[in-house]
Amino acid sequence: MTADVAQYLIENEPFYQAQEDEIDLYQAAYQARMPVMIKGPTGCGKSRFVEHMAWKLKRPLITVACNEDMTASDLVGRYLLDADGTRWLDGPLTIAARIGAICYLDEVVEARQDTTVVIHPLTDHRRTLPLDKKGEVISAHPDFQLVISYNPGYQSLMKDLKQSTKQRFAALDFDYAPEKIECEIICKETGTDAETASKLVKIGHTARNLKGHGLDEGISTRLLVYGAELIKQGIKPRAACRMALVRPITDDADIRATLDHAIDTLFA
Where residue 130 sits, what CATH number does that domain have?
Answer: 3.40.50.300
Element containing residue 22 per DSSP (H, E): helix 22-31
| Cα 265 from Cα 61, distance rounded (Å) | 44
User: Based on the domain organization, do 118 and 188 belong to the same domain?
Assistant: no
Q: How many CB atoms lie under 10 A from the CB of residue 257?
A: 11
User: Based on the domain organization, do 111 and 10 belong to the same domain?
Assistant: yes
User: Based on the domain organization, do 16 and 121 belong to the same domain?
Assistant: yes
Q: Once rounded to an integer, what is the mean pLDDT over residues 99-127?
A: 91
Given 131, 147, 173, which residue is the final one in a domain? 173
First to last CA, the chain: 56
User: Based on the domain organization, do 121 and 35 belong to the same domain?
Assistant: yes
User: Based on the domain organization, do 203 and 142 belong to the same domain?
Assistant: no
Strand 128-131 to 170-173 pairing: unpaired
Residue 45, domain extent = 3-173
User: Based on the domain organization, do 121 and 228 belong to the same domain?
Assistant: no
User: Based on the domain organization, do 106 and 47 belong to the same domain?
Assistant: yes
CB 213 within 8 A of CB 250: no
User: Based on the domain organization, do 240 and 152 belong to the same domain?
Assistant: no
Given 173, 190, 214, which residue is the final one in a domain? 173
Q: What band does 84 get if pLDDT is binned at 50, 70 and 90?
A: confident
Q: What band does 22 get if pLDDT is binned at 50, 70 and 90?
A: very high
User: Based on the domain organization, do 113 and 160 belong to the same domain?
Assistant: yes
| Cα 58 from Cα 148, distance rounded (Å) | 19
Q: How many CB atoms lie under 10 A from the CB of residue 231?
A: 24
Strand 36-39 to 77-82 pairing: unpaired
User: Based on the domain organization, do 148 and 208 belong to the same domain?
Assistant: no
How many helices, marked H, and strands, marked E, lie in the chain? Answer: 12, 9
- CA torsion angle for 261, 262, 264, 268 (degrees, to 10)? 140
Given 173, 195, 224, which residue is the final one in a domain? 173
In this model, does residue 37 exceed pLDDT 80? Answer: yes
How many domains are contained in the chain? Answer: 2
- pLDDT averaged over the chain? 92
Tell me: the pLDDT tens digits for 168-225?
Answer: 999 999 999 999 999 999 999 999 999 999 999 999 999 999 988 888 889 999 999 9
In this model, does residue 162 exceed pLDDT 50? Answer: yes
CB 23 within 8 A of CB 14: no
Q: Once rounded to an integer, what is the mean pLDDT over residues 220-248?
A: 97
